[in-house]
Structures are given as C-alpha cells and as structure tokens.
Amino acid sequence: METKKNILEIKNLHTYFYTDGGIIKSVDGVDIKLKEGSTLGIVGESGSGKSVTALSVMSLLMGTRGRVAQGEILLDGKDVVRIGEEEKRKLRGGRISMIFQEPMTSLNPVMKIGRQLTECVLQHEAVSKQEAYKKAEDMLRMTGVPRVERMMKEYPFQLSGGQRQRVMIAIALVCKPQVLIADEPTTALDVTIQAQILDLMNNLKKETGTSILFITHDLGVVAETCDEVAVMYCGRVVEKGDVKSIFAAPSHPYTRGLLASIPKLGVPVDELESIPGNVPSPRHMPEGCKFAPRCSRAFDKCRKEEPDFFHMGNGHVSRCWLCEGKGGEGK
C-alpha cells in the first residue's frame, strides 16, 4: 500500500476558552492526520468543536478568549502554534487557507472581487500587479463562474450566494495552498449548487494537489467527498478511519446514530432515526464516556471511565468500550 506523508498533523490539541463563567474545553485532546492530496472529513453535531479545531489550525482565535492550551499543529512538520504572529499571517491564505460557511462575513463588501483576489496573490507572491490580476482571473474562471471579466469588476453584493461561495473558493485556492480547510462550505446553499460546489472542490483538489480538511454535519457529503473521516463529540475524536471502513462497519454508537440519521431514498424523513438527548453542556461534562448518557448500549464502566482508542485494523480507531476484546486492541 502506498503511504502518503502527513501534510497536517494535529497532535493532542486542547483549545480552551477562558470565560468569566469558567473554562470551556471546546477541543480536548484531538489527534488528526491529513495525508497529502487527500480529503479528511470532520463530522459531529453542533458544538462538538469542529470549527474551533479549524480556527486553531488557522491561528484565528485572536479576538476571542480562546487559546491553544496544549498540543501541536504540524504543517509539513512545523509546529504552527509556536511561531510568531507575522509568520502565522503569512501562512494564512498562503500555505493554508479556509472557506467559511457564510461568504459575506469573510468577503470585503466594499472591495471589488478582482481586487480582493489580486491582493491575495500580491500578499503571497512576488509578481507584478498585472500578473497577479491575470492569476486571479484564471483562478476565478476555474471555479466555473460565467462572465469572469465582468465579475472581477463587481462587488460581493452584486453576486448570488453560489457565486460568492465560488469567489471564496477562488480566494482560498489562488495561492495554491497545501491545505484547504472548508468549514461547512455548502450548508447555506441550495442542493443543486451544493453539488456543483462539491464537484468543483473535488476537481480543484485533483488539479492543484491541495489537501482538504472538510467540516460538515452531513455524513452523506462525507461519503461523496472524503477519503477519511474523523467523528467528533464533545471536543474529542470518538472514531476515525477511512471512509469505506467507517461506513461499512461503524463501531462507535455515536457514529452509528449519525449514519442512521442520513436521509435515504425511499425512506420517509419521519422514519429516520435520530440520536436521543442532547450534546451535554461544556460546563457539565459527564463522567466516563461523554456519549454514555445518550447511548442505548452503555454499561457501568462507560459511566465511570473514559475509553482510549481501540484499534480496529487498517487505521480505523474507536473510543468505545464495546470494542474491547472485539479485534479492537487498546492503546
């Protein structure tokens, strides 16, 4: 089997928010490896720490009370947590970039599209203004928007939601980043446009070789887009592995619950199963396995002791006591 190198390695990441009401452990010991040229999905319910993981990688926690309390984030072997602000700024939009859920919050409303794209190029590459403009135009064309020359001279409000999302993708990719983080990039769009944007990201990945960290609620999208998946719950990864083995043999009851709630053709929506209960509040985390209070298969040990990963073979790991002794070998 071919082994690709890890372009991004998140090791034992703890990102905490130090609020007046106490410490919120939003990310509490996450390990994720993204292989070069591949797409890794991060899934989990709202509040599981997906975006905070992404913001930690991008060093975008300033202005919040959050900071990386422990752990390493290695981009091509170099820890980006422990570099200076200037170096962090250079990395963003250069070697690593991000697409957000709502493009209007990250596009500058009073700057023409062409200028926003061109400035990204100029910040990261030593080229002339004309060359930068040309690169920007070519990138925008690659995203499949119509009338590129005209769009370069327009403002964000003049575009549709789908067009703005494509502009965001163009901005994120124009410097050919090694890693692209897409945080729910299609949830604000309608289904046909969603499918087009996912196709576009897949194609651009093939052309540019960029590795993608793809954050979504939607396991259906993961099946179509990702090579590997990490399932997050309460600031931890509870199961991860390659998409095929997770879909064929999910071993954590939380992952099973998420899979059972994917809409299926021919199954009425009201017959879909949903996971009972709610994500616990970060201030009142249960003892033992964080999922135990919602898990129909939990037993005494689950409520007392938090399991470490059990290895299910082929890189598939699961943080569940049910895996103990089932081919799964504890760390």
Binds 52, which of Mg ion, ligand ATP, none (CB < 5 to 8 A, cut-off by type)? ligand ATP
CB of 54 to ligand ATP, least distance (A): 8
Q: What is the DSSP letter of 211?
A: E
With beta carbons less than 8 A apart as the criterion, state whether 121 and 174 touch.
yes
Binds 326, which of Mg ion, ligand ATP, none (CB < 5 to 8 A, cut-off by type)? none
CA distances, 142 to each of 58, 145, 175 (Å): 25, 8, 13
The nearer residue to Mg ion, 51 or 163, going by C-beta atoms, is 51
How many residues of this chain bind ligand ATP (CB under 6 A)? Answer: 17
Considering only residues 7, 8, 52, 182, which one is a binding residue for ligand ATP as defined by CB under 6 A?
Answer: 52
* 177 lines the binding site for ligand ATP (CB under 6 A): no
Q: Report the 10 Å Cβ neighbour count for 269.
A: 7
* 49 lines the binding site for ligand ATP (CB under 6 A): yes
With beta carbons less than 8 A apart as the criterion, state whether 279 and 234 touch.
yes
With beta carbons less than 8 A apart as the criterion, state whether 153 and 114 touch.
yes
Nearest to 315 by CA among 230, 221, 236, 205: 230
Segment contacting Mg ion (CB under 5 A): 44-52, 107-115, 240-248, 288-296? 44-52
Considering only residues 16, 40, 43, 47, which one is a binding residue for ligand ATP as defined by CB under 6 A?
Answer: 47
Of 92-111, binders to ligand ATP (CB under 6 A) are: none
* 24 lines the binding site for ligand ATP (CB under 6 A): yes
Binds 211, which of Mg ion, ligand ATP, none (CB < 5 to 8 A, cut-off by type)? none
SS3 190: coil
* 39 lines the binding site for Mg ion (CB under 5 A): no
Of 257-296, binders to ligand ATP (CB under 6 A) are: 282
Query: Residues near 277 by Cβ (< 8 Å), separated by ≥ 6?
Result: 293, 294
Amino acid residing at 94: G
Measure the CA–CA gap between 263 and 273, rounded to whole angstroms: 9
* 25 lines the binding site for ligand ATP (CB under 6 A): no
Query: Residues near 63 by Cβ (< 8 Å), separated by ≥ 6?
Result: none
The nearer residue to ligand ATP, 183 or 228, going by C-beta atoms, is 183
Q: Beginning with the edge strand found earlier in the chain, give each strand of the sheet holding 228-233 in spatial order.
A: 96-99, 179-183, 211-216, 39-43, 228-233, 236-242, 317-318, 310-311, 329-330
The dihedral sign for the CA sequence 236, 331, 222, 81: positive
Considering only residues 15, 51, 194, 225, which one is a binding residue for Mg ion as defined by CB under 5 A?
Answer: 51
Segment contacting ligand ATP (CB under 6 A): 63-71, 75-83, 102-110, 257-265? 63-71
The nearer residue to ligand ATP, 65 or 326, going by C-beta atoms, is 65
CB of 187 to Mg ion, least distance (A): 10
* 185 lines the binding site for ligand ATP (CB under 6 A): no
Instruction: List residues binding Mg ion (CB under 5 A).
Output: 50-51
Instruction: List residues binding ligand ATP (CB under 6 A).
Output: 17, 19, 24, 26, 44, 46-52, 64-66, 217, 282
